[in-house]
Amino acid sequence: MTSRLSTDKDEGLLRTYVRSEIVVFYKTKDEFGGLSNMASGYPLRINRVRILTAEALYQACRFPHMPDVQREIIGQYSPMTAKMKSKPHRKDSRPDWDDVRYKVMRWCLRVKLAQNYEEFGRLLLATRDRPIVEQSRKDDYWGAKLADETGATLIGQNVLGRLLMELREKLKDDTEGALKTVLPLSLPDFLLLGRPIETVRAGGAGNDRMPQPALF
């Protein structure tokens, strides 16, 4: 599975999923909504900076050269607003963004697991061996869209779901807790607020819902 995801060569390859055979999440309140990057309750800490959701972290990674934009993104309470704050700057995303975004997403999911090992791990393992799919209205790159109005079938590249499945398989073998440590990606300028992103370790993030803006 890693090789399928290790390049965007298969970009455009749409997969078809039958709803009754998969774990699908659409809203964060769904049974498996915690798998969404928009889900709250899985706080992160990078270089001692608290970040409320994987979505905010992912969006901030677009702009290593723009710390003020990163600060604005991770300063939002709402993950959707964090995503919206990145939108006006998208054209200024790091120049290799389209090539590296799936690697960044894989790293964000690793961080989410490392720092929320019990809760997120339990949710991942509860999907057992089923395909995981994020249902989306518009985005059939990260997720999959309804094939028709019955909703019985979804079609998309489902890159996020495939990364989650990849992580689930690693977690099944993680008897030593190796996934509680996450090395930084070896990308040029992998920065947060002007500093190189350091190794991420379990603990540290806390789950006290302290608002990120309080840190600024």
Ligand X SMILES: Nc1nc(O)c(N)c(N[C@@H]2O[C@H](COP(=O)(O)O)[C@@H](O)[C@H]2O)n1
Q: State which of residues 58, 63, 107, 120 lies at the interface with ligand X (CB under 6 A).
A: 58
Q: How many residues bind ligand X (CB under 6 A)?
A: 10
Both tokens of 68, joined, read 């003020």
Nearest to 212 by CA among 30, 32, 60, 36: 60
Least Å distance, CB 171 to ligand X, is: 19
Q: Which of residues 118-147 bind ligand X (CB under 6 A)?
A: 134, 139, 142
Interface with ligand X includes 157 (CB under 6 A)?
no
Interface with ligand X includes 25 (CB under 6 A)?
no
- Rank residues 55 and 140 by Cβ distance to ligand X and give the closer one: 55
Least Å distance, CB 175 to ligand X, is: 29
106/122 Cα distance (integer angstroms) = 18
Report angle CA 123, 27, 160 to the nearest 5 degrees. 60
The answer to whether 158 and 105 are in contact (CB under 8 A) is no
Q: State which of residues 24, 38, 69, 74 lies at the interface with ligand X (CB under 6 A).
A: 38
- Rank residues 185 and 201 by Cβ distance to ligand X and give the closer one: 185
- Rank residues 50 and 101 by Cβ distance to ligand X and give the closer one: 101
Give whole-number Cα distances, 131 to 28, 157, 164, in Å.
Answer: 18, 12, 9
Strand locations in the chain (E): 15-18, 23-25, 44-46, 49-51, 132-134, 145-146, 153-156, 181-182, 191-192, 195-196, 200-201
Least Å distance, CB 157 to ligand X, is: 12
- Rank residues 151 and 203 by Cβ distance to ligand X and give the closer one: 151
Least Å distance, CB 71 to ligand X, is: 18
Both tokens of 29, joined, read 């309140």
Both tokens of 169, joined, read 């398989």
74/55 Cα distance (integer angstroms) = 9
Number of residue whose CB is nearest ligand X: 37
Least Å distance, CB 42 to ligand X, is: 13
- Rank residues 155 and 201 by Cβ distance to ligand X and give the closer one: 155
Amino acid at 38: M
Interface with ligand X includes 160 (CB under 6 A)?
yes
Give residues in contact with ligand X (CB under 6 A): 36-38, 55, 58, 83, 134, 139, 142, 160
